[in-house]
Every structure is written in structure tokens, then in C-alpha cells.
Amino acid sequence: MALVVCGTVSACADTSSTPASQRGFFGGIGAAVTGSDERRAAGLEQSAADAERKKQQLEARLGAANADAARTQAQVRAAEQRLAAVRSDLQRQKERLAALRARSQSGPSAEEASRLQRELDAVDRERRAAQEASNAVTPATLRNLEERTHAIGLALDRLGAV
């Protein structure tokens, strides 16, 4: 009799992948004897733990991506504001240069005014190009435009003092 029960239990052990509700009495006994239910539960727990770890990694990557996007947007806004300030400075300097030119039509002042006009035009072209590519404008480009605009302002001051 014991031999029949052991044979039946071992035959039912092959159904360990079958859900417990569909195994019946001997299938349940077989699963208990072989430990297949515990292995299956451990495998499911490991799968759940792996899925949770992947979820946390994806959430961390999403958070980093969102932070990068926010930082990039802030940099673009800052670059746009700096370019707008350069544009305003250039416009004021062009008006100032026009007024200085109206006062002095010849001599060294006129040559310097022409040079400043060329420089203003060049800086304005570079500013427009940078503004069109505001997502890709570098801090060095912005700094260069600001420094050149400042230098033009100083040259206008000298020209106005003459």
C-alpha cells in the first residue's frame, strides 16, 4: 500500500507547474513532498523583486531625464534672455553711432565710425545666427557677443568724447 501511495505521489509531482486549485489531493501531496510549490513561490517572488527593481531603475532614469530637460530649458531661456540683451545693446549703439555720425561727417572720427558700424553689423549677424540656433548656442558664443558689444560701447564712448 505504501508503495502505491509513493508511486501515485511521485507521478503527481510532475504536475508541479499546474496551479494548486487544479491538481487535486495527490497532486498537492506530490507538490508538498517535492517542494515544487516552494520553488515556484520563490521564483515568483524573485520575478516580482526583479520587476520592482527594474521599475525603480526606470523611475530613476525618468527623474534624471526630467531634471536634464528642465536644466536644458532653463539654459535655453537664459541664452535667449542674454541674446535679447545683446540685441537691445546693439540697437542702442546703432542709434548712438548714427547720432555721432550726424555730428561729424569727416576726419578720423568718420573712419572710426565706419569701423564701428562694420563691427556692429558683424556682431548683429552673429547674434541673429546664435538666436536662430538658441538650443545650440554655447556659453562661449554668448560671452563673445557680450564682450564685443561691450567693447563697441567703450569705443562709442571714446568716439563721443572726441
For 76-124, write each residue's pLDDT tens digit: 888 889 999 999 999 999 999 998 888 876 666 888 889 999 999 999 9
Tally of CA atoms within 13 A in the half-sphere of 52 that contains its CB: 6
- Say whether pTM exceeds 0.75: no
Residue with C-alpha cell 515556484?
40
